[in-house]
Amino acid sequence: MRRAAFAGPYRIVIMKTNPLIVALDVDTLEESKKLVQSLGDSVDIYKIGSQLFTAYGPQAVRDVTAQGKKVFLDLKFHDIPNTVANAVTSATGLGVFMMTVHTIGGQEMMEAAVKAAQAKAVAMKIVRPLIVGVTVLTSAPQEESTQEKVLARANLAYRSGLDGVVASAHEVAVLRREIGKDFVIVTPGIRPAGEDKGDQKRTATPADAMADGSSFLVVGRPIVKASVPRDAAAAILKEIKGMSV
């Protein structure tokens, strides 16, 4: 059994990190900056996905890190191993905290991603970013085979040396039970009680996802579209921690 890539001191850092990740699914850098500023110290990590990165590229990452925040770069790299390795090298060079590859790219591709990230981190004398594998999108409907697919892809990610996976709250408990505590589980599709699910099919409340074993929760519209984003984030953190914030 391989040793978890983030064991020891790195695991302690993760355990102490605010688990809330806010998705910067906005149209402009100005909107991104304002949202980060408005959320202040209530949020430490921001997800940058295809929408913002396609429009502004690496500058979107630099703007967030310049404000002292961590970036979860969610571009779901999926290509031949060499191409993914090069992309991961570039992402590592940007100083991101975590990034995604797609597990359907296969073991060779995922292994190349980890090796590339490690080499670049050593060269830059920085901590290697976490690499997590996307299993099944939370927008996909729940089917009999969904849990089986997620578990199979997560096990492949584990064997390939990834630090964890992205999976819906519906699969968190079984992943935690089957793969163990030393594996990052990033859970999107988080909706506070009473919130509209939007285009997400497999959702859960923050408290339920954390109770089942999620490491990080990705929240977008319930915070981004809220009239007062900081209050919305505070309510979610209160639910996660079970105490006032």
pLDDT tens profile 11-27: 545 556 799 999 999 99
Domain membership of residue 3 (yes or no) is no
Half-sphere exposure of 84 (CA within 13 A, CB side): 26
At residue 186 the predicted structure's pLDDT band, cuts being 50, 70 and 90, is very high
Domain membership of residue 191 (yes or no) is yes
Domain membership of residue 156 (yes or no) is yes
Selecting among 47, 70, 76, 120, the annotated active-site residue is: 76
Range of the domain at 78: 9-241
Domain membership of residue 35 (yes or no) is yes
Domain membership of residue 93 (yes or no) is yes
> How confident is the model at residue 204, as a pLDDT?
79
CATH number at residue 144: 3.20.20.70
Domain membership of residue 4 (yes or no) is no
Domain membership of residue 1 (yes or no) is no
At residue 245 the predicted structure's pLDDT band, cuts being 50, 70 and 90, is very low
Instruction: Pick the more confident residue, 13 or 222.
Output: 222
**pTM higher than the cut 0.85:** yes
Q: Is 76 a catalytic residue?
A: yes
In the chain, the number of structural domains is: 1
Domain membership of residue 175 (yes or no) is yes
